[in-house]
Structure 1
C-alpha cells in the first residue's frame, strides 16, 4: 500500500477572528493591569444605555455645544492649547469653534452610557489618545449592551478640559513641588 504523502492543513481564513487575548477578556470584565491611561485615572460609573432617540437628540445637540466649548477654550485656555502642541493656525480654528486636524472633543462620560452635553464632561484631546481610551477601556466593557441595559463600568476620567500628556502633567507637578520647597526655605 502506498504511503499518503500529502498532509492537509487548514488555512486561516481572513474573516476568522483571532482568539481574544487575556488582556481583552479582562477588559471586558472591567479588570485592568493599569490604574491610569494617557493621564486619565480609572473611575467606576453607573452606565445605562439611553433609548436611541435620546442618544440621537444628544448627538445633534452636541454639534452646537461643541462649537461653544471650543470657543471657550480659545478664549480662556490658550496657554493650555499651546502646551498641548497646537500651532497658531490650530488655535485660530479653536477660537472659531472648529476642531483642528488631529484633535477631537471627547465626552469623558459618553452619551451611550448616559453622559451629558456639559462643558465639565468635555475634553479636547488628540485623536490617537482619544481612540485608546475607547478601544482599550470602554468598548470592551460595553460592546454588547443594548438600550436600557445597566451595569458598573470603569472609564478613564480627568477634570481637565484640555488634554495634558502624562509627561507634561508630571513635569508640572514636579515644578510645583520644587517651587513650594523653594518658598519654604526662604
Structure 2
C-alpha cells in the first residue's frame, strides 16, 4: 500500500514538472474602449500560458499533494508500529535476560557446592539415602546410610600391597562365596549366566566389586567390606564421591566426613 501511494505521488509530481515545460497559445477576447469616441470594441489576442497553470496542471498538483498527505500518514503509522514492536522486542529481551539471570543464580546456588560439602553440612546426621553426582547430574541411591568416619589417607606402599592381594585372589574368593545363595542372587535380578560367572570367581558384566571403606583409607579386604555393585550408575557415583574427598588429601592426612555404607553384599 505504501509503495503504491509513493508511486502515485512521484507520477503526479513528474507530470506537473513536465506540464510546466510546455507553453500554450491561448486565444483570449479582450474588450477595448476607444479613447477618442469612448466606444467599446472586442479584440482577439493570443496569450502564452504554461500548461502547468491550466486546469490539468492544477489537478496534477492537487493529486500530488493528496498523495503526499497519504504518504505522510502511512509513514506515521509505520513509525508508530515499528516503535511499538521495537518496545515489545526490548521488553521480551529484557524479560528473557532477567529470567536467564534468575535461573543462573538459582543454578549456582544449587550446584556451587560440591557433593561432599552438601552431604557434610551436618556431620552428625545419618541418612537412608545418598545423593551423588554423575556427569553433572544428581543421582539418588536408596537404602544407603551415611555415617561419620575419620578418613585417613593411607601410605601408598600399604595400599599397593592390599590392592595386589585383592586383584590376585580376594575378589575371586569373594565372588565364589556369594554364588551359593541362588535365591538372593535371583532376587537382585542376576541371570543364570551371571550366577555361573560368580561360581567361577568372575565379575558379571556391568558389575564391580566395591570396598565400602576404601583401601585408600582404612578399609580392608575382608568380605564384610566388599559389595558386588552395579557399575552404572551406582559404583561410578560412590567412586566420584570418594574422589571428591580424597583427591586433595595428603598421605597421612585425616578428615572427618560422612561416608556411604551399603551394608549388604549385593547392590543394584
What TM-score do the two structures reach when normalised by structure 2? 0.49
Superposed displacement of residue 133, structure 1? 1.5
**Is 2:235 aligned against 1:130?**
yes
The verdict on how the C-alpha distance between 1:43 and 1:23 changes in structure 2, with shifts beyond 3 A counting, is farther
Whether the aligned pair in 1 keeps the contact of 2:153 and 2:246 (CA below 8 Å) is no
Question: 1:27 maps to what in 2?
Answer: 115
Q: For 1:156-175, what aligned pairs fall within 5 Å after superposition?
A: 156-163=260-267
Q: For 1:54-65, what aligned pairs fall within 5 Å after superposition?
A: 54-63=158-167, 64-65=169-170
Structure 2: tracts of 5 or more residues without a match: 1-107, 131-140
What TM-score do the two structures reach when normalised by structure 1? 0.70
Tell me the alpha carbon deviations over residues 99-156 of structure 1, each in whole angstroms, 9 at most, x when there is no partner. 0110111000100112000001001010021111122x32222220121111112111
**Is 2:176 aligned against 1:71?**
yes
Question: 1:12 maps to what in 2?
Answer: none
Structure 1: tracts of 5 or more residues without a match: 1-19, 166-186
* Separation in 2, partners of 1:108, 1:160: 10
Superposed displacement of residue 67, structure 1? 0.6
Specify which structure has the higher proportion of helix. 2
The verdict on how the C-alpha distance between 1:23 and 1:156 changes in structure 2, with shifts beyond 3 A counting, is farther
Q: Out of 190, 212, 215, which is 1:108 matched to?
A: 212
Deviating 4+ runs (over 6 angstroms): none
The verdict on how the C-alpha distance between 1:111 and 1:56 changes in structure 2, with shifts beyond 3 A counting, is same
The structure showing larger relative contact order (alpha-carbon pairs under 8 Å, at least 6 residues apart) is 1
Specify which structure has the higher proportion of strand. 2
Tell me the alpha carbon deviations over residues 23-59 of structure 1, each in whole angstroms, 9 at most, x when there is no partner. 4624343436993122211111111111111111000
RMSD (CA atoms):
2.3
* Separation in 1, partners of 2:112, 2:146: 16
Question: 2:150 maps to what in 1?
Answer: 46
Question: 1:180 maps to what in 2?
Answer: none
Whether the aligned pair in 2 keeps the contact of 1:24 and 1:140 (CA below 8 Å) is no
| SS state at 2:166 partner | helix
Question: 1:118 maps to what in 2?
Answer: 222
Q: Return the index of the structure with the highest Cα Rg.
A: 2
